[in-house]
Structure 1
Amino acid sequence: MHFDVFNGDADGILSLVQLRLAEPKESVLVTGVKRDINLLKKVDVKAATSVTTLDISMEKNIEALNELLNKNTNVLYIDHHRSGDIPSNSALEAVIDTDANTCTALLVNERLNGQYVLWAITAAYGDNMLASAERLADEVGLTDAQRAQLKNFGIYVNYNGYGRTVDDLHFAPDLLFRELVQFESPFDAINAKDSVFHQLEKAYKEDMANAKAAKVLADNDTAKVVELDDAPWARRVSGVFGNELANLSPDKAHAVITLNSDNSYTVSVRAPLNNKQGADEICVQFPSGGGRAGAAGINALPANQLEQFIEVLGAYYR
């Protein structure tokens, strides 16, 4: 039995779309909201004969990975997050690149020699890898209008992945994958009857309108921190709102914090676009923190550490 394990954001979903278009395979899908990254432990070790793992940190899944490898389960692991020490095991094929300007879908695109490059471009836009997306768009000769469509599509798919639980999302990530993998090209998906593109576009615009009134907790030369409500719309929009803030002020770091029901905070951090490093180093200083150099997060920042976090964020980029 094969298991496909993937992050529920644009990068994870569209990485798997590329792979399964190129290599159709019956599989058990294991995914969740974007911040649900401890996914390998959900794989049935006894049943699994092979596993593909996309866009989740190896460092955060190392125990479950080792358990699979100890059972001689073949694992293909493609990712761009912090990996920690990569196991040396003949059953593991690891494609790990933590460069701040790549993402999992771009690594898959390289593996497939550009076979489904339009999906890779869409994912790169969605993961806010704008320069990398534009370079690929130049290579394939996309028009400005086509770039705008793929950029918006990537943003909408990414936006759909944010939430406390799958109930916060408009589409469960596994169902969204099954919908999108039917289409050879993202343009086919956009133009389809009852397109998810247009459904997500409407929802995205409504949620972003709410985010414009976000409370600003700190704003200085190096960093800006805003707070969103404890509400489904706020949880959905936290990541893409952070990306938009980063794009508007590329020399600043940004953090979007969302109040949780237990009075802790979910934190989404974006390093300055002109200095894409350090976001992961900041977040791992706090419980439940992790991510990559350009974008990272904290799942449950204790309320009494909020001021410390704001101070660490601002000081890091001085």
Structure 2
Amino acid sequence: MGNDDAGKGGAARSGRFDVCNGDADGLCAVVQWRLHEPADAVLVTGLKREIALLERVPAGAGDEVLVCDLSMERNRAALLALLARGVRVRYFDHHAVAEVPSHPALEAHIELGSGVCTSVLVDRHLGGRFRAWAVVGAYGDNLRGVAERLAAQIGLHPRERELLRMLGEAINYNAYGDDAHDVHIAPSRLYPLLARYRDPLQFVEREPVALEIDALRRTDLARAMGQVPWWEGAAGAVYLLPDAPWSRRVIGSFANELAVAHPRRAHAVARRTADGALVVSVRAPIDAPGGASDLCRRFGGAGRASAGGIDGLPEDRFEAFVHAFATTAWGERASADSPPSTGGRAR
């Protein structure tokens, strides 16, 4: 799913495109940028696991594309095609990538450490001008310590921080599902509501959708918390959920809640899909944030140091995944997830 204006043949051309993951980090990153540089850009977004979004962008020579919170590795071919057509691309991301292409039309801001998310990268680039939105993005990405530090820097009170945490977690939860029928509101419809406000606290106050999503999230989480682990060891636990609308929505939020409740342990939450495969969300221990991306990539997935996912794990490989999960050495020293960061224009 994505913005209807961008994914169909014959759509009207625009000189600017904003492409992002439909979760809290992606949406809040774009909100910050468009508050900084207003433009009538076409939004291309989707649900959490709709990652190959650049191939939907019909940009041509002289057009500009902003990309936020999308794996460059998963979009590499489409990125190179855009650059070859004369498109200028500004790219902010924190997911694992083997190599950033060198091209004069690519401005890449890539950092892979466990203590950053895309909203934080945009916040740094803009000098903290819209930092409250970066706080929302960090909370949504389960970087609570980072979010708290940013919130303290702009003098947010405890109640204000709690509201922004609720908002970030709600936006993030709303990105999970197999299709638009699973979620409360499509990310492409949520974004323009968010983008009306320089202050996310005003969004919470004036737009009922935030509390509506939060109520649904809490209901789904209560159901998930009643599940028992499929496997559990001293260093972590693996859960296997049935295929149902509630499990499709809550898988990421459930994994985040488990990580916060048990910061020294790793967690994986899997759910069955209609075709018999499994979708998996992985969280490294908060106290040893590293290794999630490496583990997921071994099974056809992707991610970052502290969190990752697998979209289509064959059921007959589930036990092999659990064994690999149980024997993973968590932490950045044991992980290859965090090579040196890349900032500025790639040449």
CA contact (8 A) 1:45 1:67 kept: no
Pairwise CA RMSD of aligned residues?
Answer: 1.2
Which one-letter code corresponds to 2:280 in the other structure?
Answer: V
CA contact (8 A) 2:229 2:240 kept: yes
Give 1:145 shift: 1.1
Give 1:206 shift: 1.2
1:224 aligns with 2:237: yes
Number of residue pairs the alignment of both structures matches: 316
Q: Distance in 2 between matches of 1:247 and 1:37?
A: 26
Q: Distance in 1 between matches of 2:315 and 2:100?
A: 34
Match of 1:116 among 130, 142, 146: 130
TM-score of the two chains, using structure 1 as the length reference: 0.97
Match of 2:154 among 135, 140, 147: 140
CA contact (8 A) 2:16 2:65 kept: yes
Match of 1:206 among 219, 227, 248: 219
In structure 1, stretches of 5+ residues that fail to align are: none
Moved over 3 A (4+): 45-48
CA contact (8 A) 1:183 1:189 kept: yes
1:292 aligns with 2:304: yes
Task: Name the SS of the counterpart of 1:257 in structure 2.
Answer: strand
1:190 aligns with 2:241: no
What do the CA deviations read for 1:55-113 (whole angstroms, capped 9, x no partner)? 00111110000001111210000000012211111100000000111000001111111
Q: Distance in 1 between matches of 2:145 and 2:231?
A: 28
Which residue of structure 2 lines up, in the alignment, with residue 259 of structure 1? 272
CA contact (8 A) 1:32 1:166 kept: no
CA contact (8 A) 1:123 1:154 kept: yes
Which residue of structure 2 lines up, in the alignment, with residue 273 of structure 1? 286
Which residue of structure 2 lines up, in the alignment, with residue 301 of structure 1? 313
Matches within 5 A, 1:49-68: 49-68=63-82
CA contact (8 A) 1:215 1:228 kept: no
CA contact (8 A) 1:126 1:151 kept: yes
Which residue of structure 2 lines up, in the alignment, with residue 311 of structure 1? 323
Match of 2:167 among 133, 146, 153: 153
Q: Distance in 2 between matches of 1:158 and 1:294?
A: 16
Match of 2:296 among 283, 296, 300: 283
Q: Distance in 1 between matches of 2:33 and 2:254?
A: 29
CA contact (8 A) 2:69 2:95 kept: yes
CA contact (8 A) 2:61 2:86 kept: no
Task: Name the SS of the counterpart of 1:168 in structure 2.
Answer: coil
CA contact (8 A) 2:61 2:85 kept: no
Match of 2:39 among 25, 48, 53: 25
Task: Name the SS of the counterpart of 1:316 in structure 2.
Answer: coil
Match of 1:98 among 112, 116, 119: 112
Structure 1 range deviating more: 42-51 or 60-69: 42-51
Give 1:27 shift: 1.3
1:81 aligns with 2:101: no
Task: Name the SS of the counterpart of 1:60 in structure 2.
Answer: coil
Which residue of structure 2 lines up, in the alignment, with residue 131 of structure 1? 145
Q: Distance in 2 between matches of 1:314 and 1:165?
A: 31
Structure 1 range deviating more: 41-50 or 29-38: 41-50
Which one-letter code corresponds to 1:9 in the other structure?
Answer: D
Which residue of structure 1 lines up, in the alignment, with residue 252 of structure 2? 239
Give 1:47 shift: 7.6
What do the CA deviations read for 1:249-307 (whole angstroms, capped 9, x no partner)? 111110010110011100000000000000000000112x0010100000010000000
Task: Name the SS of the counterpart of 1:85 in structure 2.
Answer: coil
TM-score of the two chains, using structure 2 as the length reference: 0.89
Q: Distance in 2 between matches of 1:166 and 1:47?
A: 32
Higher helix share: 1
Give 1:24 shift: 0.9
Residue identity over aligned pairs, in percent, reads: 41
In structure 2, stretches of 5+ residues that fail to align are: 1-14, 331-347
CA contact (8 A) 2:271 2:280 kept: yes
